């Protein structure tokens, strides 16, 4: 997918592209260009860390300013996770919230000029489908977290029992290997669908913006105008919406997988919580 | 028309856009149903509008993902033309 020679639409140049063009003899710049997806994801991480640090410096009981904003985000997301998972959602909200914020910031990086979203990086694989280099590890992390959370909540026996389909009748015990295979295939398909959905949406959006930029540059060149009109502006707003929604859907699906697989609480404990 | 071993390029060039168009058509039908039922639900209970919007957005993203899978395949094979 990065074969610029056979594609007519290339991706928009990033800072590392420009550096690589101007200093093409330097090994350091080549190394920086090769790992540019990593640097951009580090930028996203550093941005979130700096934001959190700046917001929690004062730790006043009645929050104002940045601390207020951050508490609004965290509290809103925790409420949302608890509305799906119940009171035990408080334990899982940090991981899911981190997923949401990290993926949202990474998606939005693709809209900044001279920056690229690391979510759109992929390598061609022998299976035909491209392997996304950032979303596949994220999806594997999410599915692994769900399985490990179920393992911790239900113990090894509870986890295997759930994987066998929770058989109570003798017939269900007979078909349990089939259900085990289905569940394992289901976990693989969760990884596949999570990664491909996020990758395809953000890659398509960024490719759309790249095509619009190239077309508008050609148009302005044909009109003999200097390239001053940002004709891709409406698509940037669409990219804002898509980035936010895809991050939200990723974390929502992780929450739903958790809600489906975690063992049900006892009725007395549930009634005590809801009071 | 490319002949001989390049035949696959003509087939890809015909069928890739058709494939993406078929996926877009199917997802447009599905999304239309989802959004229309969300509109009806909002008309019944306007105070739950934001909750319905959130659920509709989640459903729409899941339906849209199927079209995106088709687009990824189109990009993969389009690079081979």
Q: List the single range of A49-63, A143-157, A171-185 with lowest mean pLDDT.
A: A49-63
Supply the angle between the helices A89-109 and A65-85 in degrees, to the nearest 10. Answer: 120
Residue B1 lies in a domain: no
- Decide the pairing of beta strands A131-132 and A122-123: antiparallel
Task: Give the whole-angstrom CA distance, residue A238 versus residue A170.
Answer: 54
B57–A248 CB contact, under 8 Å: yes
Does residue B57 sit at the A interface (CB-CB below 8 Å)? yes
A1–B75 CB contact, under 8 Å: yes
pLDDT (tens digit per residue) in A173-208: 888 899 999 999 999 999 999 999 999 999 989 988
Q: Hey, is A260 helix, strand or coil?
A: helix
pLDDT (tens digit per residue) in A8-46: 567 788 888 888 888 878 888 888 888 989 999 999 999
Residue B66 lies in a domain: yes
* pTM higher than 0.90: no
Element (H, E) at B19: helix B7-44
Q: Which residues of B touch A129 (CB under 8 A)?
A: 72-73, 76
Q: How many CB pairs under 8 A join A and B?
A: 53
- Report the 10 Å Cβ neighbour count for A24: 10
A130–B62 CB contact, under 8 Å: no
User: Which phi-psi region, left, alpha or beta, contains residue B45 (left: φ > 0; alpha: ψ -120 to 50)?
Assistant: beta
Does residue A124 sit at the B interface (CB-CB below 8 Å)? yes
Task: Give the whole-angstrom CA distance, residue A202 versus residue A192.
Answer: 16
Output the average pLDDT for chain B.
88
Residue B17 lies in a domain: yes
Supply the angle between the helices A89-109 and A36-55 in degrees, to the nearest 10. Answer: 130
Residue predicted with more confidence, A63 or A195: A195
How many domains are there within chain B? 1
Please give the backbone phi and psi of residue A171, each rounded to the nearest 5 degrees, phi first: -65, -40
pLDDT (tens digit per residue) in A90-145: 999 999 999 999 999 999 999 988 888 999 888 888 777 888 989 999 999 999 99
A6–B57 CB contact, under 8 Å: no
- Report the 10 Å Cβ neighbour count for A59: 8
Read off the CATH number of the domain in which B17 is found: 1.20.20.10
Q: Hey, is A229 helix, strand or coil?
A: coil
Does residue A128 sit at the B interface (CB-CB below 8 Å)? yes
B64–A199 CB contact, under 8 Å: no
Residue B36 lies in a domain: yes
Per-residue pLDDT, averaged over B33-52, amounts to 94
Instruction: Give the pLDDT score at A268.
Output: 45
A129–B73 CB contact, under 8 Å: yes
Structural domain harbouring B49: 9-75
Q: Which of A190, A244, A249 to mutate to test the interface with B (most CBs of B within 10 A)?
A: A249
> Across the interface, which of B69, B72, B79 has its CB nearest the CB of A7?
B79
Does residue A246 sit at the B interface (CB-CB below 8 Å)? yes
User: Which phi-psi region, left, alpha or beta, contains residue A53 (left: φ > 0; alpha: ψ -120 to 50)?
Assistant: alpha
Task: From residue B61, give the alpha-carbon distance in Å to each of A113, A152, A197, A246, B64.
Answer: 26, 31, 9, 7, 5
Residue bearing tokens 């494939």: B19
Task: Give the whole-angstrom CA distance, residue A50 versus residue A263.
Answer: 37
Does residue A192 sit at the B interface (CB-CB below 8 Å)? no
For residue A7, what is the nearest residue in chain B, using CA coordinates?
Answer: B79
| ipTM of predicted complex | 0.79
Residue B49 lies in a domain: yes
Does residue B48 sit at the A interface (CB-CB below 8 Å)? no
**Longest pairwise C-alpha distance within chain A:** 79
> B20 vs chain A: nearest CA distance in angstroms?
13
Instruction: Give the pLDDT score at A170.
Output: 87
């Amino acid at each position: 997918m990065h074969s610029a020679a056979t594609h007519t639409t290339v991706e928009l140049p990033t800072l590392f592209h420009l550096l690589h063009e101007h200093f093409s003899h330097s090994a350091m710049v080549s190394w920086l260009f090769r790992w540019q997806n990593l640097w951009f994801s580090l930028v996203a991480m550093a941005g979130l860390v700096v934001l959190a640090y700046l917001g929690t410096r004062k730790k006043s009981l009645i929050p104002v300013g940045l601390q207020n904003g951050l508490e609004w985000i965290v509290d809103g997301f925790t409420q949302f996770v608890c509305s799906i998972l119940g009171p035990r959602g408080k334990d899982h909200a940090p991981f899911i919230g981190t997923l949401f914020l990290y993926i949202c910031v990474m998606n939005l990086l693709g809209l900044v000029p001279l920056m690229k979203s690391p979510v759109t990086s992929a390598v061609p694989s022998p299976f035909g489908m491209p392997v996304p280099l950032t979303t596949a590890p994220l999806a594997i992390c999410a599915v692994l977290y769900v399985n490990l959370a179920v393992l911790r909540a239900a113990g090894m026996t509870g986890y295997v029992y759930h994987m066998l389909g929770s058989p109570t009748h003798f017939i269900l015990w007979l078909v349990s290997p089939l259900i085990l295979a289905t569940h394992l295939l289901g976990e693989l398909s969760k990884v596949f669908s999570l990664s491909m959905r996020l990758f395809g949406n953000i890659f398509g959006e960024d490719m759309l913006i790249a095509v619009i930029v190239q077309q508008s540059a050609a148009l302005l060149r044909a009109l003999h105008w200097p390239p001053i009109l940002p004709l891709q502006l409406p698509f940037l707003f669409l990219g804002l919406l898509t980035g936010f929604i895809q991050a939200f859907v990723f974390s929502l699906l992780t929450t739903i997988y958790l809600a489906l697989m975690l063992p049900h609480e006892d009725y007395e404990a549930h009634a005590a919580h809801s009071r | 028309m490319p002949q001989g071993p390049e035949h696959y390029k003509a087939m890809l060039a015909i069928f890739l856009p058709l494939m993406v168009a078929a996926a877009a058509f199917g997802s447009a039908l599905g999304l239309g149903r989802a959004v229309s039922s969300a509109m009806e639900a909002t008309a019944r209970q306007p105070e739950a509008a934001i909750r319905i919007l959130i659920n509709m957005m989640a459903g729409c993203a899941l339906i849209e993902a199927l079209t995106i899978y088709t687009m990824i395949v189109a990009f993969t094979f389009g690079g081979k033309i």
